Structure 1
Amino acid sequence: MQRILYISTARSDFDTAALDGILRASRRNNAAAGVTGLLLFGGRRFLQALEGPEPAVAGVFDRIARDPRHFAVVKLSRKTIETRMFGEWAMGYRPARTPGDSFETDDLRTIVERLVEPIDDVTLRAEFTSFAALHAAA
């Protein structure tokens, strides 16, 4: 199995309905391909871990990289893994802070820290907690 962690930027702003639509489609497509993961969204930036069979993960990542709604898609890591960190999720999702949010900065960090607490890979865990801290502070 393989895990890819990437970051990308949306070409335009997404409202909640658009994000929900992307998430529904991603969950459906990823589940069909046997891919699990975690997605954080902050402002116009996405941080996502994809994991599963190598050809499926590569296919999902390639589809995302070609999606015209994204640019500056940067693969932060690609790693062979023995077990999934997000095995129960077709796609876990948590929005980071966006303008007009009512939750407090510390709440987002706490939520993300709880989400990634079971992750054994300290670098992967740090990527998500750092992303949440950065976007919660913005």
Structure 2
Amino acid sequence: MDSIVTPLRQLLYVSSSNPSGAKIDVPTVVEQSRHNNALDGVTGLLWSDGKRFLQVLEGAADSVMTTFARIRADPRHHAIVVLHERNIEAREFGNWTMVQRRPGDDPDALDRKMRRLLEGASQTVRGNFLGLIAARP
């Protein structure tokens, strides 16, 4: 009997923090997301400067869509836009990786780290992240 292969899905979105002015505790969000995503088998990459979020999610299609539904329902996100969505043969980001820029961090060092993490990504995913990095204040 043939084994059933679950298709992998990749979803890339951008969002802004809720305009209500409420501060977002990004380190807490990162830890909570790492936990939830590990349980769901979702991997990817998140870039945030505390005001904007760019994230690619990868995993079984149902897990990615469940994770994205949770993000869409989160009041900390505003103006969520899906930039790219597709089926993939293999994950481009083997481990869940989240990057955030904290006050006092060297932005150039963070940019170099992001470029390394994006080396195996598709042109579309890499281009979106590098565009946001290039526009950083």
For the criterion TM > 0.5, the same-fold answer is yes
Question: Which residues of 2 match residues 1-138 of structure 1 at below 5 A?
Answer: 1-11=8-18, 12=21, 14=23, 18-89=25-96, 92-96=97-101, 100-103=103-106, 105-119=107-121, 121-135=122-136, 138=137
For the aligned residue pairs, the C-alpha RMSD in angstroms reads: 1.7
1:132 aligned partner, one-letter code? I
Please tell me whether Structure 1 or Structure 2 has the larger radius of gyration of its CA atoms.
2
User: How many residue pairs end up in the alignment?
Assistant: 128
Percent identity between matched residues is 38
- Displacement over 3 Å in runs of 4+: 12-15
When the two structures are superposed, what TM-score results if normalisation uses the length of structure 2?
0.85
Q: Which amino acid aligns with 2:100?
A: P
Kindly state the Cα deviation for residue 54 of structure 1 after the two structures are TM-superposed. 0.5
1:44 partner amino acid: K
Q: TM-score, length-normalised on structure 1?
A: 0.84
- Is 2:10–2:56's contact at 8 Å kept on the other side of the alignment? yes
Runs of 5+ consecutive residues of structure 2 not aligned to the other structure: 1-7
Question: Gapped runs of 5+ residues in structure 1?
Answer: none
